[in-house]
Structure 1
Amino acid sequence: MNAPRPRLVLIDGSSYLYRAFHALPPLSNDAGEPTGALFGVVNMLRATLKDKPDYVAFVVDAPGKTFRDDLDPQYKANRPPMPDDLRAQVEPMMQVVEALGMPILRVPGVEADDVIGTLAVQAATHGIDVTISTGDKDFAQLVRPHIALVNTMTGSRTDSDEAVIEKFGVRADQIVDYLSLMGDKVDNIIGVDKCGPKTAAKWLDEYGTLDGVMAHADEVKGKLGENLRAVLHRLPLNRELATIRTDVELEQAPTDLALRERHVEDLKVLYARYGFKQALKELEGASGEGGAGDGGDAGGASGSARAGGGATGLRSTAAGYARGSSADDEALDPALAAPGEYETVFTDAQLSAWIAKLRAADEFAFDTETDSLDAMRANLVGMSFAVTPGAACYIPLAHDYPGVPAQLDRAAVLDALRPLFSDASKRKLGQHGKYDLHVLRRHGVDVAGYADDTMLESFVYNATATRHDMDSLARRYLGYETIPYEQVAGKGAKSIPFPQVAIDDASRYAAEDADVTLRLHRVLAAKLAAEPMLQRVYREIEMPLVPVLTRMEATGMKVDGDELRRQSADLSRRMLAAQQKATELAGRTFNLDSPKQLGALLFDELKLPVLVKTPGGAPSTNEEALEAIADQHELPRVILEYRGLAKLRSTYTDKLPEMVNPDTGRVHTSYHQAGAATGRLSSSDPNLQNIPIRTDDGRRIRRAFVAPEGRRIVACDYSQIELRIMAHLSEDAGLLRAFAAGADIHRATAAEVFGKAIDAVSGNERRAAKAINFGLMYGMSAFGLARQLGIGRGEAQDYIALYFDRYPGVREFMERTRQQARERGYVETVFGRRLYLDNIHARNQGLRAGAERAAINAPMQGTAADIIKRAMIDIDGWLAGHRERALMVLQVHDELVFEVEANFVPTLLEEVSGRMAGAAELRVPLVVDSGSGQNWDEAH
């Protein structure tokens, strides 16, 4: 076993003091001095020391401004002054910290958070386990291997991405974006109005990053969408303010933070003065073994090491004890957490021996190492294989650095392995293997028999239990800590490409990948086998979809760069015209992108009324504010036009040509099966699923996605699929009747709700019915419906009541689903996919209500995802005999897009429409709308 890593505890001093002040009663000593906060801090400090860390630091803010004040003069402008009772306890706290022998750090120009962040990353990089003792959620962005958070007031511990997800609903690397969207009233960071934790997490789950949310802001409906668009200009600043720096220049290194000898006499005086009798008693009876020997109050804090060693977990009596681990209930197999034995293959004899092992095995795990994350352009650097847990090999093929050992010829190795990869009877295992399939295909090796993928096994087994990367899965299901990539290739500016990684280091890292993949498969396959419905989702939907998506990604979609450049030029001209018009209206030049300059112009010079204010009370220049005064002056409307044009150009017309693969002349998106918990596919690099279509300018973007000469683009789209699934699940007679008759469902709903004949329904009544139909699936309240329709809340409530009177089966389905969610902790799609709802029993009413809304929506959205995946698998099988004439090139939510030989279009439309309609047997028919054209826009 390796020696345990040294441990560093970084204490967020301000968090300690404020949390203790608010958590504990207003105690005082015999002299009447306030001691409540000090008492809590002293107990927490002593708990830290009792656990005997190797290094420790107490970090507080230095007086004066920081770089964040320079970024935003309004930063923390609304913070109330420190209460007098609390201020009186600051100096005694610092005296206690000093007397305990703890290093105290204050760094001018930055906040304590940045000092902690820098030390944490430095320490983790240099083999030290770090515990950040804090109650501040901002620090969740720092959680990674060997950096954990402990809230000493509550005993809760956050030491992994899954723990961050459990607490916040987002990954650690999304925390900054999460905070940017919500804002922070205490720090005066202006976020999206009405965007709370659930909304922020939902957006990031759908769009991945803050940039993704901003890029698709036009697609967010209702008032919340308006609120988002109103602060788009502010969100990048929020991100800067919320990001904890990890590159502060410090005089101290982590290893400089060892405890000093305690000043016992000083501690006695302080404990006696403030009435800490138990602490004084234990101090007087202690053996005097330096700072770390101090004990806690009776029944007080205790420390326990994380299973398998690592960072320390701290507890405090201030609020009871820590909750248990969030890991699986079943005990982990120690054999699957043991170190592996790995071989580096340098000779033909070694290669032959391993090929013999692979040929003799029923299944084997494999992995590729490359020089790029772009699977369409990556070059193969090496390969790893495993046939039994704990034993694996790495075959280096293209490492290149001074003194590199001789390696086998890449082409010869691939020729030797090709028969194994092409043998469909030989089961291959991978972790996110779609990437590896692309890499091997580009090097002339087509893989048959790709049978299992541990990422997908984990995703289907429990989509929300953890992230589905190898490191997270190994930690959760094996209790195994994998070698981080940064350990072999470095990080940031000091990182090196994988071909330059020393083969010895690369071999341990790469062979471990294959080994851990095999170990994970043994665990996850058993878990799925115990759940027949989940096993069916995995075997019949997710795994068969892998080769389908691989083909679609490899095919890509042709983009007309000239068309995009024309659109960019046109957008630029119109932006310039808007700038000139704005200058003319203002009577002077100003920066249209500066809210400060714009606010001064609109409200100070032009004296326009301030109808919308920021949370800090300043006049707002967001979209809502400009819309509110657009009828009083032309300038606000011109500014809104300018912003819309700028967003389209920067997000789409300028960026898409840069993403065209020079080898293929096409754009190749990457599809993600293990993204949305409902099973919906997402895509990235580029995200082609969210090309805007609501405006003429947005629809123009789709015109740039074109068919080659002699071919056409065909689009086939499910019509109102989620409403049809609602009818199927609820078995409501009225909905079933309307869909069976092929009626306009929104007009039919309006006729039912308003008691009219279908042909007598007005446009506004149909609009209201449509809002109800879709709104109920997403948990829309009467308040939300009222805002969307511009009516009173009472009238909106009447609409909803009428709807449920006419469609009682829908109400019964919704209540039945909520109850099932409460009883089981999850809901299911028609095909058995599960969505676990961690907050269905939450004490917080908002979290619980969000889980109930998800419980209703997930079966519909998830079933829709399952249906189109089933259709894709079926259609891809049919296309196998027609690939020269037709290709499936894109999936967008409920739509499939094809590139088709012109004279083959009628055949494809008939086959695809029929197969999409037959992808599920529901109580109502599935309807498919189709079209074709020279480009994607024309196909609609």
Structure 2
Amino acid sequence: MTRLVLIDGSSYLYRAFHALPPLTNAAGEPTGALFGVVNMLRATLKERPEYIAFVIDAPGKTFRDALYPAYKANRAAMPDQLRAQVEPMCAIVHALGIDILRVEGVEADDVIGTLALQGHAEGLQVTISTSDKDFAQLVRPGVELVNTMSGSRMDSDAAVMDKFGVRPEQIVDLLSLMGDSVDNVPGVDKCGPKTAAKWLSQYGSLEGVIANAGSIKGKIGENLRAALERLPLNRTLVTIRTDVPLQVAARDLVLREQHVDDLRALYTRYGFNQALKDLDGGAPAGAVSEKEPGRARGSGFVAAPLPATAADLDPALAAAGQYETVLTGQQLDAWIATLKGAGRFAFDTETDSLDPMRANLIGLSLAAEIGRAAYVPFGHDYPGAPVQMERAAVLDALRPLLTDPAIEKIGQHGKYDLHVLRRHGVEVAGYAQDTLLESFVLNSGSARHDLDSLARRYLGYDTVKYEDLCGKGAKQIAFAHVALDDATGYAAEDADITLRLHRVLAPKLAAEPGLESVYRDIEMPLVPVLARIEANGVRVDADELRRQSADLSRRMLAAQRKATELAGRSFNLDSPKQLQALLFDELGLPAVVKTPTGQPSTNEEALEAIAEQHELPRVILEYRGLAKLRSTYTDKLPDMIHPDTGRVHTSYHQAGAATGRLSSSDPNLQNIPIRTEDGRRIRRAFVAPPGRKLVACDYSQIELRIMAHLSGDPGLVGAFESGVDVHRATAAEVFGRKLEEVTGNERRAAKAINFGLMYGMSAFGLARQLSIGRGEAQDYIALYFSRYPGVRDYMEATRRQARDKGYVETVFGRRLYLDYINAGSQGQRAGAERAAINAPMQGTAADIIKRAMVSVDRWLSNHADRALMILQVHDELVFEVDADFVDPLIGQVRALMAGAATLAVPLEVDCGVGDNWDQAH
């Protein structure tokens, strides 16, 4: 039976703290309670529950405190040694894939009680993992208590009777009579568990005991009669509530995939060697689905509303499907008629490569109704494989359906499938729904959006995994060698589950008009646009890159020689261990930044922090910068040139960043440095073919303009409307000067404040950037806010909204949920507040350029022979254009980009032209 495990986190933590010795790690941090909790969690997870939650008390008073002010009044404050282990515990719990719940106004017991009975009502086998006796009142068939520390289990009336002498429904009465010294609930004086159990056995219930109080003789009878008035209150205090309004349901609490890299860092830091050994012997870090890059969910408490599963909507959505292997033309014709009659269908491709620009099509899966799907194979080749239809014949038969814009297609990460089908001669039209994007828009910061994860989260359904059919590693076989029966179960399920997910996700979007608009008007129209940009690709001068690689190698060697000279001996610049010994032991430089294990760090931040104290760290940074450019770009890009097109084709990811910004991979073009000469040189290798030019169109100061719009500050808005240099205008305002009197240093300070505030820069950060005192930096910020009070008011209002709602929004309604916005840790809370201020600007900028891309692509469709959109990087679009079409393109693109949003200030677009990207930028 499907299991729900509810972990009493507070019980775990206190029990482990008092049961284990005061252990510490190498850095002296307390780890005893943490060690116990981790071991209990690992034991729980070995049983692989489908649903699980870690429930802890929220800070603040509860309804019981209002009823009885002395409730828990005698409980001592949490020891500092224990408090220090709470945040690490939460980080580990989340990295293990377990949601953490804490609800204000009630206790963790009430949250557990509510979810336990809800899960039980939905047919789940519920396990409450706790050492708290109060939970015995919830025991019934299907709801059990497990004490992971002692190994005891209580799963029936008989077990409760054996332990307490009463039935589960009498536990509340038992506790009312006994009282609870831990919670400062006074019971009947001198009434222990045996006496209370005897009374309940004789009189049946608390009401029965109260009614017969006069007949109980002796001192204990007197004590009972003296306590009669408070017994009803006792009962309310010890009763676990099972009706708490929650934002999550039992089936929302899916056990997610572990964040292996986070766990490894945490286990290493706290010295949990056995856990680390077990982890490294398990699943590889960073495992991703076959079509979607993996995304790590930021650690933190559950803040965003979690989805209801299919069981809450329609049991058929979680039922097994019926799948057909299509081997004949007659079968295919019947399916085509079904799909056409439905007017919409889900589809998926099976291929032999993750690279859509190189993948060969092996089969197609199709589904028009829930629970029924087909797999049409034409590329399976193994001994005894059934005869399959020819690929060309299948595609010819399906082409009218796939190219009909009136028939709605539904996919999961469908951009990949559009690429593959286009390369096989089918230009899909009517691609209308994508479940990956539906999930991403609903909660961009949520867990992964791949099909397997979404099926578990929203449908409570475990899909067939690719590795189940093909194996792993060196023994993995090609999908074309999988038996057709097995291949059909896997492939047809993909189309079926995609259809089911759309059935669940579409109403959720419809219930949020702002989010639905983001999905319908921004994300979905962008899918075919990105597919075209990727297919267009960009020409790269391989000879130029090889020359750059040679130059970088020479300079790396020079940096190595300089480092050897400064150190007075040879050493390996690529060895963190040798660098640690040299910088911190031999040279005695301060270890400003530490690794998770407490060792001196040699990462970029650590070297930057000490670069002013010795020349060697600066030389090492120079060497690393050169090495990264060579390995990431100049050496790698020539090998990525497609043999057929002669171009490099990046892949863009719409679900790559929580703010909505596009990311790219293979190659990642977003991270080419442009502030250094070496980074700009790499852009020179991106070239236009003969007779054409590259045109780069870049939004000017778009995030600062969005800040002016969002804040409505008259001074900032006026600076942009006047068309003057906004940083010079800001400096004039802040320093009380005329525009022409502003010095270069004052403009530089104003620019640092303008951009720094959007990213939550503190006075300390500004002081470091400008090389001034912290007090002077604080004065600059105070002056800025005095001149631009609307900015200050906007930032404070945004923080309030984030704290109240748990999310912030872009101008167009995109949401970013902030897990840590109400966290107890000041550092985590401050980080969430910085994200709250920046996300609306960065997210709005992302929305604007996406809208611009759709508009520009629509215009380019009539000029495809004259110009191509080939790159999108941050706030910039790059085009390959016929030399005599450059001016018309710039005029139209500038207007379309500027018109992608209507803000309180004008959007400006800078355009450049050249034979290569660097010249055009």
2 CA distance for matches of 1:819 and 1:19? Answer: 32
Residue in structure 2 matched with residue 231 of structure 1 by the alignment: none
| 1:856 matches 2:853 | no
Q: Residue 870 of structure 2 aligns to which amino acid in structure 1?
A: V
Residue in structure 1 matched with residue 170 of structure 2 by the alignment: none
Distance 1:535 1:132, change over 3 A: closer
Q: Residue 23 of structure 1 aligns to which amino acid in structure 2?
A: F
| 1:704 matches 2:685 | yes
In the TM superposition, what is the alpha-carbon distance from 1:603 to its structure 2 partner? 6.8
In the TM superposition, what is the alpha-carbon distance from 1:545 to its structure 2 partner? 0.8
Distance 1:144 1:245, change over 3 A: farther
2 CA distance for matches of 1:376 and 1:456? Answer: 22
Q: Deviations over 1:448-485 (max 9, x none)?
A: 11111111122223323442212222222222222222
Residue in structure 1 matched with residue 308 of structure 2 by the alignment: 328
| 1:938 matches 2:919 | yes
For the 8 Å contact 1:176–1:243, the answer to whether it is kept is: no
1 CA distance for matches of 2:599 and 2:350? Answer: 53
| 1:612 matches 2:580 | no
| 1:23 matches 2:3 | no
2 CA distance for matches of 1:631 and 1:451? Answer: 56
| 1:760 matches 2:741 | yes
2 CA distance for matches of 1:149 and 1:555? Answer: 55
| 1:246 matches 2:282 | yes
In the TM superposition, what is the alpha-carbon distance from 1:658 to its structure 2 partner? 2.1
Where does 1:262-301 land on structure 2 (aligned, <5 Å)? none
Distance 1:341 1:689, change over 3 A: same
Residue in structure 2 matched with residue 682 of structure 1 by the alignment: 663
Describe the SS at the equivalent of 1:688.
Answer: coil
Describe the SS at the equivalent of 2:918.
Answer: coil
2 CA distance for matches of 1:761 and 1:800? Answer: 17
In the TM superposition, what is the alpha-carbon distance from 1:351 to its structure 2 partner? 0.8
In the TM superposition, what is the alpha-carbon distance from 1:609 to its structure 2 partner? 4.3
2 CA distance for matches of 1:437 and 1:346? Answer: 24
Distance 1:754 1:830, change over 3 A: same
In the TM superposition, what is the alpha-carbon distance from 1:152 to its structure 2 partner? 6.1
2 CA distance for matches of 1:838 and 1:114? Answer: 22
Which of the residues 747, 766, 787 maps onto 2:768? Answer: 787
Residue in structure 2 matched with residue 456 of structure 1 by the alignment: 437
Q: Residue 176 of structure 1 aligns to which amino acid in structure 2?
A: D
Describe the SS at the equivalent of 2:689.
Answer: coil
For the 8 Å contact 2:51–2:253, the answer to whether it is kept is: no
2 CA distance for matches of 1:355 and 1:897? Answer: 41
Distance 1:436 1:617, change over 3 A: closer
1 CA distance for matches of 2:383 and 2:394? Answer: 23
In the TM superposition, what is the alpha-carbon distance from 1:21 to its structure 2 partner? 6.2
Q: Residue 875 of structure 2 aligns to which amino acid in structure 1?
A: D
Q: Residue 556 of structure 1 aligns to which amino acid in structure 2?
A: G
Q: CA RMSD in A?
A: 4.3
Residue in structure 2 matched with residue 734 of structure 1 by the alignment: 715
For the 8 Å contact 1:114–1:245, the answer to whether it is kept is: no
| 1:176 matches 2:261 | yes
| 1:577 matches 2:571 | no
Which of the residues 499, 504, 529 maps onto 2:510? Answer: 529
Distance 1:847 1:742, change over 3 A: same
2 CA distance for matches of 1:597 and 1:717? Answer: 44
**Unpaired segments of 5 or more residues in structure 1?**
25-35, 41-60, 62-74, 94-110, 190-238, 249-321
In the TM superposition, what is the alpha-carbon distance from 1:523 to its structure 2 partner? 2.0
Q: Deviations over 1:226-250 (max 9, x none)?
A: xxxxxxxxxxxxx9999632289xx
Residue in structure 2 matched with residue 364 of structure 1 by the alignment: 345
In the TM superposition, what is the alpha-carbon distance from 1:636 to its structure 2 partner? 4.8
Describe the SS at the equivalent of 1:408.
Answer: coil
Deviation larger for 739-748 or 471-480:
471-480
| 1:391 matches 2:372 | yes
2 CA distance for matches of 1:772 and 1:855? Answer: 18
1 CA distance for matches of 2:303 and 2:623? Answer: 52
Residue in structure 2 matched with residue 289 of structure 1 by the alignment: none
Residue in structure 2 matched with residue 594 of structure 1 by the alignment: 575
1 CA distance for matches of 2:454 and 2:283? Answer: 30
2 CA distance for matches of 1:669 and 1:324? Answer: 32
Distance 1:733 1:351, change over 3 A: same
Distance 1:476 1:419, change over 3 A: same
2 CA distance for matches of 1:132 and 1:530? Answer: 27
For the 8 Å contact 1:135–1:151, the answer to whether it is kept is: no
Residue in structure 2 matched with residue 919 of structure 1 by the alignment: 900
For the 8 Å contact 1:734–1:807, the answer to whether it is kept is: yes
For the 8 Å contact 1:340–1:512, the answer to whether it is kept is: yes
Q: Deviations over 1:635-657 (max 9, x none)?
A: 55543432222222122211222
1 CA distance for matches of 2:25 and 2:429? Answer: 59
1 CA distance for matches of 2:92 and 2:695? Answer: 47
Where does 1:96-107 land on structure 2 (aligned, <5 Å)? none
Describe the SS at the equivalent of 2:917.
Answer: coil
In the TM superposition, what is the alpha-carbon distance from 1:611 to its structure 2 partner? 3.3
TM-score (norm 1): 0.70
| 1:833 matches 2:839 | no
Distance 1:564 1:388, change over 3 A: same
Describe the SS at the equivalent of 1:937.
Answer: helix
In the TM superposition, what is the alpha-carbon distance from 1:323 to its structure 2 partner? 12
Distance 1:732 1:705, change over 3 A: same
In the TM superposition, what is the alpha-carbon distance from 1:814 to its structure 2 partner? 2.0
Q: Residue 377 of structure 2 aligns to which amino acid in structure 1?
A: P
| 1:342 matches 2:427 | no
For the 8 Å contact 1:609–1:629, the answer to whether it is kept is: no
Q: Deviations over 1:481-539 (max 9, x none)?
A: 22222222222333222111111111011111111111121222222223333222222
In the TM superposition, what is the alpha-carbon distance from 1:820 to its structure 2 partner? 3.0
| 1:646 matches 2:596 | no
Describe the SS at the equivalent of 1:246.
Answer: coil
2 CA distance for matches of 1:856 and 1:911? Answer: 33
1 CA distance for matches of 2:803 and 2:569? Answer: 62
In the TM superposition, what is the alpha-carbon distance from 1:861 to its structure 2 partner? 1.4
Residue in structure 2 matched with residue 485 of structure 1 by the alignment: 466
In the TM superposition, what is the alpha-carbon distance from 1:725 to its structure 2 partner? 1.0
Residue in structure 1 matched with residue 856 of structure 2 by the alignment: 875
Q: Residue 282 of structure 2 aligns to which amino acid in structure 1?
A: T
Distance 1:345 1:678, change over 3 A: same
For the 8 Å contact 2:653–2:663, the answer to whether it is kept is: yes
Q: Deviations over 1:719-761 (max 9, x none)?
A: 0111111111111110111100011111111111111111111
Distance 1:575 1:849, change over 3 A: closer
Describe the SS at the equivalent of 2:920.
Answer: coil
Q: Residue 328 of structure 1 aligns to which amino acid in structure 2?
A: A
Deviation larger for 611-620 or 375-384:
611-620
Residue in structure 1 matched with residue 490 of structure 2 by the alignment: 509
Q: Residue 915 of structure 2 aligns to which amino acid in structure 1?
A: Q
In the TM superposition, what is the alpha-carbon distance from 1:555 to its structure 2 partner? 0.8
Q: Deviations over 1:768-813 (max 9, x none)?
A: 2112111221222223222322223322222222111111111222
TM-score (norm 2): 0.71
1 CA distance for matches of 2:674 and 2:694? Answer: 17
1 CA distance for matches of 2:823 and 2:30? Answer: 34
Where does 1:114-193 land on structure 2 (aligned, <5 Å)? 143=97, 172=257, 174-176=259-261, 180=265, 185-187=269-271
Describe the SS at the equivalent of 1:346.
Answer: coil
| 1:725 matches 2:719 | no
Q: Deviations over 1:259-286 (max 9, x none)?
A: xxxxxxxxxxxxxxxxxxxxxxxxxxxx
For the 8 Å contact 2:339–2:345, the answer to whether it is kept is: yes
For the 8 Å contact 2:11–2:130, the answer to whether it is kept is: no
2 CA distance for matches of 1:620 and 1:362? Answer: 59
Describe the SS at the equivalent of 2:734.
Answer: helix
For the 8 Å contact 1:661–1:667, the answer to whether it is kept is: yes
Distance 1:179 1:726, change over 3 A: farther
For the 8 Å contact 1:176–1:242, the answer to whether it is kept is: no
| 1:562 matches 2:543 | yes
**Unpaired segments of 5 or more residues in structure 2?**
55-87, 100-125, 133-144, 148-247, 285-301
Where does 1:56-71 land on structure 2 (aligned, <5 Å)? none
